[in-house]
Amino acid sequence: MLYQVVMDVKIPRDLPEDERTQVLAREKAYSQDLQRQGKWRHIWRVAGQYANISIFDVQDNAELHQILSGLPLFPFMEIKVTPLLRHPSAIRDDDS
Ligand SMILES: O=C(O)C[C@H]1C=CC(=O)O1
């Protein structure tokens, strides 16, 4: 199943610099591992915001929840999820 996920990142200003550096490094590794697995299909920065729009391709709601709640930045994010399906007017054979 495909999902659009909007992640709005709100890291507290008073988070110590070393913790911030570590959590961002863990987040990057976690994200890139899921991208290599094909589960995190797209990630786009929203211009002018510390936010991204991502597309996930996972089995079901439970898998998406497991992935999102495991994000190292999860405690510092507002997340909005929208389930997606193919549009009947789409001309591509796949959903790339
Ligand atoms: O920077 C972000 O948008 C938040 C987060 C999502 C993946 C990643 O590496 O960082």
CA distance 27 to 43: 13
CA distance 45 to 76: 17
Angle at 95 between CA 93 and CA 96, to 5 degrees: 105
Q: What is the ipTM of this complex?
A: 0.96
Q: What share of the chain is helix, strand, coil (3-state, %, to 5)?
A: 35, 30, 35
Task: Please indicate whether residue 4, judged by its CB atom, sits closer than 6 Å to ligand 1.
Answer: no
Task: Please indicate whether residue 73, judged by its CB atom, sits closer than 6 Å to ligand 1.
Answer: yes
Return the domain boundaries, the chain. 2-84
Task: Please indicate whether residue 9, judged by its CB atom, sits closer than 6 Å to ligand 1.
Answer: yes
Query: For 5-57, how does the pLDDT look when each residue is reduced to its tens digit (9 = 90+)?
Result: 999 999 999 999 999 999 999 999 999 999 999 999 999 999 999 999 999 99
- pTM over cut 0.80: yes
Sheet containing 77-84: give its strands across: 40-45, 51-57, 2-9, 77-84
Write down the CATH number for the domain with range 2-84. Answer: 3.30.70.1060
